[in-house]
């Protein structure tokens, strides 16, 4: 079970995170409020939280508050919450054809779904010592140990089974807009796929009455039929509604239902997933990021648990709704689907689509729109276009080293890249600001995520040395500062992964106070608390053989959204920003910082 940290640990960690962001006077005030909270109302809330947690052993203390945080948010899901992860191209270039790839990835996704639902999907396990535990012999032995003991057997060899409670929401699921708080909806009995092209909606069954998958050649035939449909895009594309403010969308949805669209909407909501087929090729990585992160707004249904997007040249990616689950569940799905669709493709470029009458099997959904709905769609489009217009996406690839070199120098690769983010911001804006790094707590029952706070007194000291006084320090001194940052970041990462951060605990206590109608404690009304939770640099990393690129929008209007990957011999970075910040310049500063750090580690300055 996810532990509730000790209150004194949480306060200590909170103050450590505040230190680099505040002046001495500000810090004294925040420290006083924190200790006052720890001895008074905070202690009472903490004891209530622990008692409540002990009465709800089937879940974790963060589950309810976290769902609420997402589902009560009223901002549009696109750009604010939905991230994207794009697939690597199929290694066999002739398979990167829109029709072939759409068929192969869809078939692999359905295989994954059937495997999962039949209880045959291998558990997700984090192996700290893979040569001992990630072996056939270990799997054979553990299979015969009763489940009440098997986790202990795994634990003995440093293998940690991860929580898989989110997986069922991958399929037949959608987020329904409701006033004040949305709802998650899943209908596992639905057998059809939703396909979008040119803003039009098509559905056809991919599972038959006996629960068997449609033949790949038939799926291919139906996709071919949809791709050759010449109907123009609708004058009022419904997809734009899923880009709206959630309350606005909830009211428009009620209008849609009252206007005779209940059955068509039911088809959209319950579909296995949404496949979006785009009619253009990808120009470059920036164009790829824009396409997968937001697209044109008309050819997506952002409320579905995920949209599988495939462009004209067979480039594929996932855009997923974030309330139901986190990156680990989607990444496992993406890894399996990539491996299966490339190693055991269902169709080849030579395959002929089945000779079936797709015009009977495929149904194009028709929506009845009144003037209010048409006006709503027009307004949603204007707002969406304006948001996208304001968004900048920029990328760099740093090829002067990566994970291998950093490990050889005995420093944490993640710590070094996070240090570069701090250094770059100091170089560009001359300050240290609230920074967020996401860390999975899936090692625990119903764990979600915890925050790592990469901005520390160590990164501040090291950044200042590099940016302001490089010539004053010897290479050895600078190396020492990097090692200190690496050690501290390693500790923070370990704590977060073990459920020992401070952010979720403080969030849970605040949520409890509000739910009990208690006046919000002064501690939470401190400007420093608000500032720490206004995450100007929001970061997330992933590394996978299936993923080419991942990214997300800034979480605040004056922030950066930083998706990054540390490969064996290079580092990739994808930054989103709005006009309040210059993402292109920030990336140049990150590049310069990485260059400086690598030079120092190599003994050059």
Q: Using a CB cutoff of 8 Å and minimum separation of 24, what contacts does 47-50 make?
A: 48/512, 48/516, 49/4, 49/508, 49/509, 49/512, 50/4
Q: How far apart are CA 213 and CA 232, in angstroms?
A: 31
Q: Using a CB cutoff of 8 Å and minimum separation of 24, what contacts does 181-187 make?
A: 181/68, 181/71, 181/72, 182/71, 182/72, 182/246, 182/250, 182/323, 183/71, 184/67, 184/71, 184/323, 184/324, 185/269, 185/270, 187/269, 187/270
Q: What is the largest CA-CA distance in the chain?
A: 77
Pairing of the two strands 560-566 and 571-577: antiparallel
Q: CB of 294 within 8 A of CB of 327?
A: no
Burial-class residue 74 by CB neighbours within 10 Å (0-12, 13-18, 19+).
middle
For tokens 């164009």, the residue is 287
Between helix 583-601 and helix 475-497 the angle, nearest 10°, is 110
Q: CB of 580 within 8 A of CB of 557?
A: yes
Contacts of 446 (CB under 8 A, 6+ apart): 2, 59, 60, 62, 63, 163, 165
Q: CB of 347 within 8 A of CB of 216?
A: yes
Contacts of 514 (CB under 8 A, 6+ apart): 520
- As given in the structure block, the two tokens for residue 268 are 């959209």
The catalytic residue among 222, 290, 322, 446 is: 322
- 127 has catalytic annotation: no
Query: HSE (CB half, 13 Å, CA atoms) of 45?
Result: 26
The DSSP string of 57-97 is TTS-TTHHHHHHHHHH--S-STTTT--EEEEPPPSSGGG--
DSSP state of 238: G
Alpha-carbon dihedral 323, 327, 330, 335, rounded to 10 degrees: 180
Pairing of the two strands 306-310 and 274-277: parallel
DSSP H stretches of helix in 344-474: 358-361, 371-390, 403-408, 413-429, 457-468
List the one residue out of 202, 249, 193, 191 whose CA is nearest residue 227: 202
Contacts of 213 (CB under 8 A, 6+ apart): 107, 110, 111, 114, 206, 207
Phi, psi for residue 257 in degrees, rounded to 5: -65, -45
Q: How far apart are CA 421 and CA 438, in angstroms?
A: 15
The three-point CA angle 10-12-14 to 5° equals 65
Q: How far apart are CA 303 and CA 176, in angstroms?
A: 7
Q: CB of 546 within 8 A of CB of 87?
A: yes
For tokens 């071919």, the residue is 224
Active site residues: 322
């Amino acid at each position: 079970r996810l532990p509730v940290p000790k209150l004194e640990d949480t306060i200590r960690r909170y103050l450590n995170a505040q230190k680099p962001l505040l002046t001495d006077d500000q810090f004294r005030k925040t420290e006083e409020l924190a200790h006052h909270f720890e001895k008074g109302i905070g202690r009472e809330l903490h004891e209530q939280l622990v008692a409540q947690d002990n009465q709800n052993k089937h879940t974790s203390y963060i589950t309810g508050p976290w769902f609420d945080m997402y589902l009560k948010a009223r901002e549009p899901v696109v750009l604010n919450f939905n991230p994207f992860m794009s697939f690597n191209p199929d290694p066999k270039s002739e398979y990167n054809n829109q029709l072939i790839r759409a068929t192969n990835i869809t078939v692999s996704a359905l295989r994954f779904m059937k495997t999962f639902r039949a209880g045959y999907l291998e558990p997700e396990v984090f192996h700290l010592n893979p040569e001992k535990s990630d072996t056939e012999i270990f799997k054979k032995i553990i299979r015969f140990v009763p489940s009440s003991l098997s986790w202990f057997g795994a634990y003995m060899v440093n293998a940690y089974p991860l929580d898989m409670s989110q997986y069922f929401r991958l399929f037949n699921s959608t987020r329904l807009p409701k006033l004040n708080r949305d709802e998650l909806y899943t209908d596992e009995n639905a057998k059809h796929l939703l396909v979008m092209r040119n803003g039009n909606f098509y559905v056809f069954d991919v599972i038959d009455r006996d629960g068997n998958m449609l033949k790949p050649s038939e799926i291919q035939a139906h996709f071919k039929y949809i791709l050759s449909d010449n109907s123009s895009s609708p004058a009022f594309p419904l997809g734009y509604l899923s880009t709206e403010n959630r309350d606005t969308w909830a009211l428009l949805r009620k209008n849609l239902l009252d206007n005779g669209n209940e059955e068509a909407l039911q088809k959209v909501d319950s579909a296995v997933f949404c496949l979006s087929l785009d009619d253009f090729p990808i120009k470059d990585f920036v164009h790829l990021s824009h396409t997968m992160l937001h697209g044109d707004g008309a050819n997506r249904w952002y409320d579905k648990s995920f949209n599988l997007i495939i462009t004209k040249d067979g480039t594929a990616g996932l855009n997923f709704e974030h309330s139901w689950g986190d990156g680990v569940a989607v990444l496992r799905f993406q890894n399996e689907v990539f491996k299966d669709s490339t190693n055991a493709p269902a169709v080849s470029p030579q395959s002929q689509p089945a000779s079936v009458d797709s015009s009977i099997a495929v149904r194009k959904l028709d929506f009845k729109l009144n003037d209010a709905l048409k006006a709503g769609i027009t307004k949603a489009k204007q707002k969406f276009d304006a948001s996208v217009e304001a968004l900048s996406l920029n990328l760099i690839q740093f090829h002067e080293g990566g994970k291998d070199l950093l490990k050889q120098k005995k420093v944490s690769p993640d710590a070094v890249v996070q240090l570069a983010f701090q250094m770059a911001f100091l170089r560009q804006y001359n300050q240290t600001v609230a920074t967020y790094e996401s860390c999975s707590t899936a090692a625990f029952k119903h764990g979600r995520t915890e925050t790592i706070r990469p901005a520390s007194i160590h990164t501040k000291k090291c950044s200042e040395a590099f940016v302001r006084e490089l010539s004053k320090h010897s290479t050895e001194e600078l190396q020492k500062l990097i090692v200190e940052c690496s050690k501290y970041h390693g500790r923070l990462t370990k704590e977060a992964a073990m459920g020992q951060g401070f952010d979720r605990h403080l969030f849970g206590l605040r949520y409890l106070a509000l739910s009990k109608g208690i006046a919000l404690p002064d501690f939470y009304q401190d400007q420093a608390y608000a500032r720490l939770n206004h995450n100007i640099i929001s970061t997330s990393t992933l590394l996978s053989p299936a993923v080419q690129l991942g990214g997300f929008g800034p979480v605040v209007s004056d922030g950066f959204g930083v998706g990054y990957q540390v490969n064996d011999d290079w580092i990739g970075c994808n930054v989103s920003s709005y006009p309040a910040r210059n993402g292109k310049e920030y990336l140049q500063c990150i590049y310069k910082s990485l260059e400086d750090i690598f030079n120092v580690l190599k003994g050059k300055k």
